[in-house]
Chain A
């Protein structure tokens, strides 16, 4: 087993979805495999999430850990620049934002990466 860490996009080991309520968004970050939980818990901090959305004047960022479900829930205040009611962005709901979060780099072992790839349900060549 090679223990050297590699830097990959969060999307390689986790998936997620954005939801909105007013000017607040939640972004779930769900590791594909159980071994992805620990590196996310250690590295994808609220402070890092806030940095990713700083250009949108995000306010408070909270992370709720769900170890039983094996998932994380980030809640980002004021990130929708008015939300669906007031935003000038085409995507006023912020539905696309989970993919900005999933672009964050994370350092993982080859084993974690392999576990995630096995757990993903990708079809060779697409469907």
Chain B
């Protein structure tokens, strides 16, 4: 009897994640014989703004561009074995994503399947009329600004569970909390009381553990000589085995690379956490204070001790708005004196950019000595000694309001070919449109999620 354990697999932790992670996870879910679900988390904070831009350019776009590549290897097996697939891959266009899933099912010869959408997260049109409150220490956002690209509320697990109750094979959402994609199938399967805060906490913790895919199975973890990971090129994505009383075991498919142990699990437990006693979600306030992990055999870790407190009265919205332009240019120097030539190049480009665009935010750095750790002032780099034969890259970056200025600043790096220090090579230039985000709170009752099945010919 396996029905008191529910298995949840994750096959993506962000939109640009590995496309082939799903098949081993689904094979393991099927082999277990246990009731199971599979989810994809593909919406980082700014992703929705980029999706809205894509939809403005093409009304049929605006969902995760790789949706079909993610689902094609697993959809037939999931449908055949009653493993619902959930994902926030609807992004700015859940209906468009649902249509794409139907089309994929047709193309794969699966026939007609049930695809549900959860909508109501998009509050951009309603924003000026909402009672917006400040989020944490952020200043209150002006909801009347004209350059807003997207405004979405983080929905919780309940509408997703309602979609599963419609018998959906695939549930497409827009903005939901990442953890809701795991909590929802647990709510649906076990019929948990939504006011049993400790159970809700266990479900949210399950989602938090899995939501970044391989980050709990040895991905984003390896540090040779300290934390070695075998089989990085074929890391197995995570599976949680959850019991009706909220017990959690994290594991990965047999025969895959990576590792699951107390070290990998602890890094993920604290990933993107602020106050561990109060991780706020629409479903519960998760308290990690008493969470502990126990190794439970090879590549199996038991996680317990999650406590829950009532969910907040407000819901968080994230608003994306125009963020100006980023201009970048790079050029390399190698061999004797390379560091000195690179610094001269950086100083030269900076001086020319500042002369032409007074007040512009500019960073001029030498990659290969110290850069990622440094501040925009270059304080660490100035304190560094030189190595004898460096192979370094100069990078200039500017923030500005318009594309032309960004392009001109990046172009200054290319002028170093003829007018900069000796021996520079390999110029690359990039001009990128930026998006900024802000967060606010709105009263819970001002949001009405909508759940429905989308017909194959809709």
Contact = CB atoms under 8 A, between A and B. Distances in A.
Interface of A: 11, 15-17, 19-22, 24, 26, 28, 30, 32, 55-57, 64, 66, 68-71, 73, 75, 81-82, 84-86, 88-91, 96-97, 100, 120-123, 126-127
Interface in B247-298: 259, 261, 263, 266-277, 288-293
A31 to B, nearest CB: 10
B292 A55 contact: no
Given A57-B375, A100-B373, A122 B292 contact: no
Contact of B399 (A15, A19, A88): A88
B113 to A, nearest CB: 36
B28 interface: no
A122 B225 contact: yes
Interface stretch (B157-165, B376-384, B412-420): B376-384
B397 interface: yes
A73 B228 contact: no
Interface residues of B, number: 59
Interface stretch (B75-83, B88-96, B432-440): B432-440
Given A88-B363, A123-B228, A64 B263 contact: no
B274 A21 contact: yes
Interface of B: 45-46, 138, 220-221, 223-230, 259, 261, 263, 266-277, 288-293, 305, 323, 326, 361-363, 367, 371-377, 379-380, 395, 397-399, 434-437, 439
Contacts of B225: 122, 126
Nearest to A23: B138
Given A32-B263, A69-B292, 8 more contacts: A22-B138, A30-B270, A68-B305, A71-B269, A86-B323, A91-B372, A96-B373, A120-B227
A68 B373 contact: no
Given A17-B220, A28-B270, A56-B375, A88 B323 contact: no
Contacts of A127: 224, 228-230
Contact of A68 (B292, B380, B398): B292
Contacts of B261: 121
Contacts of B367: 90
B373 A69 contact: no
A24 B371 contact: no
B372 A89 contact: yes
B373 A15 contact: no
A122 B436 contact: no
Name the prevailing secondary structure of the A interface residues: mixed
Nearest to B364: A88
Contacts of B377: 55
Nearest to B324: A86
Contacts of B363: 88-89
Contacts of A75: 274-275
B272 A122 contact: no
A89 B376 contact: yes
A64 B289 CA distance: 10
B46 A17 contact: no
B395 A90 contact: yes
B398 to A, nearest CB: 7
List 10 tightest A-B contacts by C-beta distance, closest first.
A19-B272, A28-B270, A88-B363, A88-B397, A55-B379, A56-B375, A123-B228, A96-B372, A17-B267, A91-B372
A20 B272 contact: yes
A15 B223 contact: yes
